[in-house]
């Protein structure tokens, strides 16, 4: 069992949990993920490792309450435990040998890009960061990122905080101004990543995305997480989750990601099942 050491509501529908999982923490690297089950009869939920501490054996996860399983997870408290917490899964991010990097996080994707920002900072890389959200209430990890980034730019759809607009607006502004980056790393909603990649392609800037398609087993056997990368089929759980954003067929991924939307809306938990 994997005990919850810390729980924090970081915005209206997003929760941070620190979980005691020493074997995972000891092997984790930026860019990897875990698959957990909240209870014995729960579904398998993939979540990116937002942070880890090898000394305390803890792993930090951040999730949104969007369905039956995550709403059940939100009812758990410090001292409660997860049934399973498997990982680290996926390939670590390649972050070495770069002088200047721009990281972009959209919504809860900011939690996914945070460990990359942290590792880049440790490596001595100049890191600029753009964080985007619907409004001020949905900005996460602002103080933590400020402590690591050279520059932090915030955009909100409604203009309640930072620059009014989208992350692509700030990205274009920086590139037009002459800022030069070895790489852009962008993580967030699929549509946001698509338009960031279209923008960086215009300017010839290498761009990496972290893909989070439908996933079941996390070992490449089920095939659910397949993505079209440069005309080849790749599996996000074993070949990724990081890929060259300019090679991703975003339209096919977006279409597949909505496969079970209607079922999720109509889902009613039966038989006392949780998670």
Segments forming the whole domain that contains residue 208? 100-257
Mean pLDDT of 253-273: 56
pLDDT at position 269:
47
Note whether 153 and 206 are same-domain residues.
Answer: yes
- Strand, coil or helix: what is 84? strand
d(CA 34, CA 86): 5
Question: Terminus-to-terminus CA distance in the chain, angstroms?
Answer: 15
Note whether 239 and 174 are same-domain residues.
Answer: yes
d(CA 64, CA 15): 6
- Residue 263: both structure tokens together: 């079922």
Note whether 55 and 116 are same-domain residues.
Answer: no
The tens digit of pLDDT for each residue in 166-180 reads: 999 999 999 999 999
pLDDT at position 224:
74
pLDDT at position 225:
73
Note whether 70 and 149 are same-domain residues.
Answer: no
The verdict on residue 250 lying in a domain is yes
Q: Higher confidence at residue 178 or residue 255?
A: 178
Instruction: Decide which of 36, 69, 89 is a domain's last residue.
Output: 89
Instruction: Decide which of 89, 117, 146 is a domain's last residue.
Output: 89
Q: Higher confidence at residue 269 or residue 185?
A: 185
CATH of the domain at 9: 2.40.30.10
d(CA 194, CA 173): 18
Which band of pLDDT confidence, cut at 50, 70 and 90, is reported for residue 271? very low
Beta-strand pair 2-11/14-20: antiparallel
Note whether 112 and 241 are same-domain residues.
Answer: yes
Contact 236, 227 (CB under 8 A): yes
Q: Higher confidence at residue 39 or residue 17?
A: 17
Note whether 54 and 188 are same-domain residues.
Answer: no
The verdict on residue 266 lying in a domain is no
The tens digit of pLDDT for each residue in 188-229 reads: 999 999 999 999 999 999 999 988 766 666 666 777 778 888
The tens digit of pLDDT for each residue in 99-149 reads: 999 999 998 899 989 999 999 999 999 999 999 999 999 999 999 999 999
Q: Where does the chain show beta strands of DSSP type E?
A: 2-11, 14-20, 33-37, 45-48, 51-53, 58-64, 81-82, 84-89, 100-106, 126-133, 151-156, 163-164, 183-187, 207-210, 226-229, 232-235, 242-244
pLDDT at position 144:
94
Note whether 82 and 106 are same-domain residues.
Answer: no
The verdict on residue 151 lying in a domain is yes
The tens digit of pLDDT for each residue in 28-37 reads: 999 999 999 8
CA angle 132, 215, 259 (to 5 degrees): 80
Q: How many domains does the chain have?
A: 2
Note whether 253 and 123 are same-domain residues.
Answer: yes
The verdict on residue 95 lying in a domain is no
Note whether 219 and 252 are same-domain residues.
Answer: yes
The tens digit of pLDDT for each residue in 57-103 reads: 999 999 988 888 888 999 999 999 999 998 899 889 999 999 999 99
Which band of pLDDT confidence, cut at 50, 70 and 90, is reported for residue 259? low
The verdict on residue 273 lying in a domain is no
Note whether 108 and 241 are same-domain residues.
Answer: yes
Note whether 115 and 64 are same-domain residues.
Answer: no
Among candidate residues 202, 214, 213, 201, the one with its CA nearest the CA of residue 244: 201
d(CA 274, CA 184): 39
Note whether 239 and 171 are same-domain residues.
Answer: yes
The verdict on residue 70 lying in a domain is yes
Instruction: Decide which of 63, 89, 115 is a domain's last residue.
Output: 89
Q: What is the pTM of this model?
A: 0.86
């Amino acid at each position: 069992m994997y005990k919850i050491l810390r729980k924090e509501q970081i915005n209206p529908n997003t929760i941070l949990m620190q979980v005691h999982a020493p074997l995972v923490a000891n092997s984790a690297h930026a860019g990897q993920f875990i698959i957990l089950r909240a209870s014995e009869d729960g579904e398998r939920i993939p979540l990116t490792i937002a942070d880890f501490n090898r000394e305390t054996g803890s792993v930090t996860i951040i999730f949104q309450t969007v369905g039956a399983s995550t709403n059940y997870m939100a009812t758990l408290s410090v001292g409660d435990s997860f049934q399973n917490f498997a990982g680290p899964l996926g390939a670590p991010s390649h972050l070495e040998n770069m002088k200047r990097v721009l990281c972009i996080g959209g919504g809860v994707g900011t939690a996914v890009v945070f460990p990359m920002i942290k590792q880049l900072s440790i490596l001595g890389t100049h890191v600029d960061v753009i964080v985007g959200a619907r409004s001020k209430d949905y900005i996460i990890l602002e103080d933590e990122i400020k402590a690591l980034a050279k520059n932090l730019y915030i955009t909100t759809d409604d203009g309640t905080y930072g620059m009014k607009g989208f992350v692509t607006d700030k990205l274009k502004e920086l590139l037009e101004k002459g800022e030069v980056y070895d790489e852009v790393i962008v993580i967030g909603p699929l549509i946001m990543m698509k338009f960031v990649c279209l923008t960086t392609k215009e300017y010839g800037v290498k761009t990496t995305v972290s893909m989070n398609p439908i996933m079941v087993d996390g070992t490449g056997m089920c095939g659910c997480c397949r993505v079209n990368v440069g005309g080849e089929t790749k599996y996000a759980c074993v070949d990724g989750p990081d890929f060259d954003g300019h090679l991703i067929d975003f339209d096919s991924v977006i279409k597949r990601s909505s496969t079970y939307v209607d079922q999720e809306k109509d889902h009613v938990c039966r038989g006392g099942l949780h998670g």
